[in-house]
Structures are given as structure tokens and as C-alpha cells.
Amino acid sequence: MDAFYASVAQRDDPTLRGRPVVVGWQAKRGVVCAASYEARACGVRSAMPIGQAERLCPSAVFVAPDFAKYRAVSAAIGEIFRSYTPLVEPLSLDEAYLDVTANLRGFATATQTARAIRAEIAAVTQLTASAGVAPNKFLAKIASDWRKPNGLFVVQPHEIEDFLAPLPVARLPGVGPATARQLLAMGAATIADLRGVPLATLSARLGRAGERLHELAWGRDERPVCPDRPVRSVSSEMTFEQDLRLTEIAPLLVPLAAQVWRGARDGEHHARTAVLKLKTADFRTLTRSVTPPQPPTTLGEFLGLLEGLLGRVELGLNTRYRLVGTGLANFYTPVGPRQSGLFCATPEPPPAAVASPPP
């Protein structure tokens, strides 16, 4: 979907159409959930501090996020997807992979199927969707961003190598600023350059991530579309546009925790374990988890566990991070009256820090 949260706001309030819209709360430590394309033209981006967004775009209209509405729209879109194929793998409220090799509507090509799906989404939701059609998930993801907003882009099998060759290595999943610098030091600024780096060198410098990048550079991705996978955890991550210190990450725990808690509540999942994930600027991944004697029963309890986990990170105050994630895991079936209302009357997070990962 195109600027999903902001587009929903513009759809439901005609006075916002054509104006820069920022989804988030105006508060001292608030962060941007999402920005309309008009706001993005001013430089506003997701996860940006609200104050910075105000300075960049004084004419922006700030609206509070409405996750219940987003989930309802997402459910309607999911029904459309499943009317074309049972092979639907949701990534978030506004994005999914579909395998339409054998679609239910009898379209001859994936491109025809994508056109029909986009048209139906527009008719049902009054929102625009962009689509990428390609032989695998990695390429389809890149293609889906190619003609945003409201676009369709197709990568045919014989076009893969030429399509990828001129792209900067930063377009590859998992390549942030630190990894891009490492690749540049190896002489790889573009994906074509990356193909010339020996696999042994990539493996020695980046480990398994280097092996994965080698495959992606040639357009190879064997991952299947996996619908209805058993839910073993609920998580949410945010990648920063600029690397942050640990103290700057703390306020972002609230919006991420809120989204995870809502996701668990909606799926009626009850979890014993809280999980915190951090990725450093040099691409090291740290995971911390805690399983308290009594499982968390409120968002506040979950957030308290995450804050405790953050305090256990011992890499130094000057270490910078490119990603933070939160999660709930170790699901169980509640027994007894104490757990019967596990997700009832969940307190909302304070407006000072409500946000979500970029849509």
C-alpha cells in the first residue's frame, strides 16, 4: 500500500487530501509513524522526531494513528488477496507476498493478476496500492517500490541481471550504512560491482550475510511464499535512517511494544517471554529475552520487561545502532480466571512516544 497510514487519514478526511500529513502525536519525545508523499517531499520520514518533522514541514497536519482502522482496512485487503490465491504471506498491515502462479481467477499472467488486484483494492478501500511482479520474493519487493505511488512494475526472468546491475548495494535487504561502507571498501558500490567480489571474501568479511548478498546480487532467492505459518512469536522492528545511541532508542520502545501487544491481543496469543533485538551499526545482532515468573498481562508490564532488557545491553554508551525490535514469544494457553482477560482493557501508550515501524 502507498503511504498506508497517511493515505487512510487522507481518505477519511477530504480536507487533508493534497496536503502534507504526518501520522504521529505532537509531543516532546514523539516520533513520526508515517508521512504522506506531500510530507515526504519536505524531507519528513518515518521514525523521525516530531520536532524535526515540524521544522522541515511547518504546513504539515499532524494526526494521531488509528491502529484499529488500519487493521480493519488490512483485513479487507487480505480478503481480496485470498480471493486470487491461497498463497498469501503477510509482512505487515500494508504489505504481503502473493504467489499467483496458479491464481483462482484464471488470469493468464501474473501481470494481469496484479492489475486486477490493484483495481479491486482501489474499488473496495478507495486507496492505491503499488505492485511488483517478478520470479521471486526479493525481486518482487524491489519492483513494488519502483513506481510508487500507485504503480506496477514487472521484472521478467531475462531482465533480472540487467535490472539489478546499476542499483546501489544499499537496495539489497540487510545492507545498512555500515554494511554499505564495508562493501564499498571491497570495491562494491553497485550490485554489478558486488558480483565481482569473490564469495570467499564476502564470507570472510560478513559471514553468512555475505553469502546471502552474493546470491541476491545475481537475483537468486529460493524462499517460498509461506501462508498460514504457525505463529511462534509476534514482533516488530524499526530500522533508523541514521544510527542511534542506546539512550536515543529508549523512547522508541513504547511504539514498538504497543504494536506488538496489539498484534498479540488481536491474535489471542498469550506470551511468557519478552524479547528485545538490537542491530549495531556494524551489523552485529544482539538479542535479549526474559521469562518472568508471572507472564506480562498489560502493555505496561511488557514495556517494563523491555526496559529492563535494554539496561542489560553492555556495549558502551557510544555504540550506535541501526535497528531495534521488540517481541513476545513462548506462547501458552491460559488457564484460570487470572488469565481470562489477558488482553482486555489494555492501556494505551502515552502520546509522547506512540509510533510504529515505517509502513
**Per-residue pLDDT tens over the stretch 110-144:** 999 999 999 999 999 999 999 999 999 999 999 99
- For residue 264, the model assigns a pLDDT of 82
208 vs 9: CA distance, rounded Å: 42
Q: Contact 61/16 with Cβ under 8 angstroms?
A: yes
If you ran DSSP here, which 8-state letter would residue 350 be given?
P
- Give the chain's end-to-end CA distance (angstroms, integer): 8
Cell numbers linked to 229: 505459518
Strand pairing category for 88-92 and 95-98: antiparallel
**Maximum Cα–Cα distance across the chain:** 62
Q: Please report, for the chain, the start and end positions of each structural domain, with discontinuous segments joined by +.
A: 4-63, 67-159, 165-217, 233-353
Instruction: Supply φ then ψ for residue 159, to 5 degrees.
Output: -100, -5
Q: Can you tell me whether residue 14 is helix, strand or coil?
A: helix
Torsion of CA 346, 350, 351, 353, to 10 degrees: -110
Quote the crossing angle between the two packed helices 253-266 and 67-82, to the nearest 10°.
Answer: 50
- Could you please state the CATH topology (level 3) that the domain comprising 67-159 is classified under: Alpha-Beta Plaits (3.30.70)
**Per-residue pLDDT tens over the stretch 212-263:** 999 999 999 999 998 866 667 788 888 787 888 888 888 888 888 888 887 7
- Could you please state the CATH topology (level 3) that the domain comprising 4-63 is classified under: MutS, DNA mismatch repair protein, domain I (3.40.1170)
CATH of 165-217, one of 1.10.150.20, 1.25.40.340, 3.30.930.10, 3.40.50.1360: 1.10.150.20
Q: Can you tell me whether residue 224 is helix, strand or coil?
A: coil
Strands (E), the chain: 21-23, 34-35, 61-63, 88-92, 95-98, 131-133, 152-154, 233-245, 270-280, 285-290, 320-332
Please choose, from the candidates 233, 225, 359, the residue with its C-alpha nearest in 3D space to the C-alpha of residue 289: 233
pLDDT tens string, the chain, 359 residues long: the values are: 999 999 999 999 999 999 999 998 665 556 788 899 999 999 998 777 788 899 999 999 999 888 789 889 999 999 999 999 999 998 878 899 999 998 899 999 999 999 999 999 999 999 999 999 999 999 999 999 999 999 999 999 999 999 999 999 999 988 877 889 999 999 999 999 999 999 999 999 999 999 999 999 999 999 999 886 666 778 888 878 788 888 888 888 888 888 888 778 766 778 999 999 998 888 788 999 999 999 998 888 999 999 999 988 877 778 899 889 999 999 887 764 443 332 223 333 333 333 333 33
Q: Which sequence positions are flagged as catalytic?
A: 95
- For residue 244, the model assigns a pLDDT of 87
CATH class as words, domain 233-353: alpha beta
214 vs 202: CA distance, rounded Å: 8
pTM of the model: 0.72
